[in-house]
Homo-oligomer: A and B are copies of this chain.
Amino acid sequence: MTRIAVLGCGRIGAMHAANIAAHPRASLAGVYDIYRPAAEAVAAKTGTRLFDSAEAVLACPDVDAVLIATATDTHADLLEAAVAAGKPILCEKPIDLSLARVNQCAARIAGRGVPIQLGFVRRFDPGHRAVQQAVRAGDVGVLHQVVITSRDPGLAPEGYLRVSGGIFRDMTIHDFDMARFVLGEEVTTVFASGARLVAPDLMADLGDFDTVTVVLTTASGKQAVITNSRRATYGYDQRVEAFGDKGMAISENRRPHGMTLHGAAFTERAEPLLNFFIERYREGFDAEIDAFVTAVESGIAPEVGFEDGRQALILAEAALRSATEGRVVQTAEVA
């Protein structure tokens, strides 16, 4: 059994704690949250140990690995501390909102050989993953275009948005990682268009966008398009399309069930889409934990690691610069 402690018991940390407890080859080794009642609630439900500090978790010999689901601005510090303690880490994205801090972190952990997995859960979604595997298997031939649609079901609270780092670092970052995952090749140019259509006043106040379209290109000429909105009335719109010289693979949206209604004015009317990430990526979150447990057990590096987190942040930086300056940005300018 791999004994995993969870740092941060907010909504996503609590979910991870439950998933770890349910995993056949993992156990929940304890929880910690700066806001103690959050950790207490998880401990009460799972019967796991309550830690008084992150340091105590990292010092505990009964903890084999840690999952970092704390506030974003603590990720890099905790990553460094966990690496120093030799504990394998599953860290929620992003590593940090600052590329400089991420690069510093990279330097500090270099060569330590501690497994680090980044929480890009969409790589583990069965449908998206099947698209990537179809590409790798040659089912679509040589890849030409990737089209990613990613729209949240509703605008996050203002308090969240203020500290989110902006749409590119907070939301599109998942799509940047997905684009890299499917493309299988690094991005060389980024064009991003940002608009304020969902909440114009708030976005203007934040200097942020709520509606963006991004085009990425690679050295070999592949193109990836990302379409984002902070609010889709019909649910959490999550689609990935890979088009190549032999065909196309699409990961379609998912609904809570398969009932369709047919009447005098319509046919095939289905439910709104699954809402929100905990529901939509339920299988993905399970598979993510499973991949982490397997990586810890086997000693083989996690398939999505620190450098993937850094690369996605580079694309976010480039996109922000592109949308702000109204020009195409080379990733080499940013990295």
Binding site for B on A (CB under 8 A): 22, 24, 45, 125-128, 130-131, 134, 139-142, 144-145, 147, 149, 151, 189, 191, 193, 195-198, 211-213, 215, 217, 221-223, 225, 227, 229, 231-235, 237, 243, 245-273, 283, 326-328
Q: How far apart are the CA atoms of A68 and B94 in the complex, in Å?
A: 48
A223-B213, A268-B268 given as contacts; is B256 within 8 A of A126 (CB)? yes
Contacting pair A243 B264 (CB below 8 A): no
CB-CB < 8 A to A272: which residues of B? 262, 264-267
Contacting pair B263 A246 (CB below 8 A): yes
A193-B191, A262-B248 given as contacts; is B255 within 8 A of A267 (CB)? yes
Q: Which residue of B lies closest to A234 (CB)?
A: B262
Contacting pair B233 A217 (CB below 8 A): no
Partner of A253, one of B134, B189, B258: B258
A277 to chain B, nearest CB (A): 16
Q: How far apart are the CA atoms of A247 and B266 in the complex, in Å?
A: 9
Copies of this protein in the complex: 4
CB-CB < 8 A to A264: which residues of B? 233-234, 246-247, 272
Partner of A221, one of B24, B195, B247: B195
A197 to chain B, nearest CB (A): 5
- Having A131-B259, A189-B193, A265-B272, one finds 7 other A-B pairs with CB under 8 Å, namely A147-B147, A197-B222, A197-B245, A233-B264, A234-B247, A267-B269, A268-B268
A147-B149, A221-B211, A328-B326 given as contacts; is B259 within 8 A of A233 (CB)? no
A144-B195, A193-B217 given as contacts; is B134 within 8 A of A259 (CB)? yes
Contacting pair B273 A127 (CB below 8 A): no
CB-CB < 8 A to A255: which residues of B? 267
Contacting pair A221 B248 (CB below 8 A): no
Q: How far apart are the CA atoms of A131 and B259 in the complex, in Å?
A: 7
CB-CB < 8 A to A212: which residues of B? 223
Partner of A260, one of B22, B193, B268, B327: B268
CB-CB < 8 A to A258: which residues of B? 127, 251-254
Q: How far apart are the CA atoms of A221 and B193 in the complex, in Å?
A: 9
A230 to chain B, nearest CB (A): 10
A127-B257, A211-B223, A328-B327 given as contacts; is B229 within 8 A of A266 (CB)? no
A152 to chain B, nearest CB (A): 13
Q: How far apart are the CA atoms of A248 and B198 in the complex, in Å?
A: 14
Chosen A-B contacts, 17 in total, with CB atoms closer than 8 Å, are A126-B257, A139-B261, A145-B213, A145-B227, A145-B229, A197-B221, A198-B245, A211-B221, A225-B227, A227-B243, A233-B245, A233-B247, A233-B262, A250-B260, A252-B260, A262-B272, A268-B269
Contacting pair A249 B259 (CB below 8 A): yes
Q: How far apart are the CA atoms of A127 and B196 in the complex, in Å?
A: 29
CB-CB < 8 A to A247: which residues of B? 233-234, 261-264
A234-B247, A270-B268 given as contacts; is B217 within 8 A of A215 (CB)? no
CB-CB < 8 A to A144: which residues of B? 195, 197-198, 211, 229
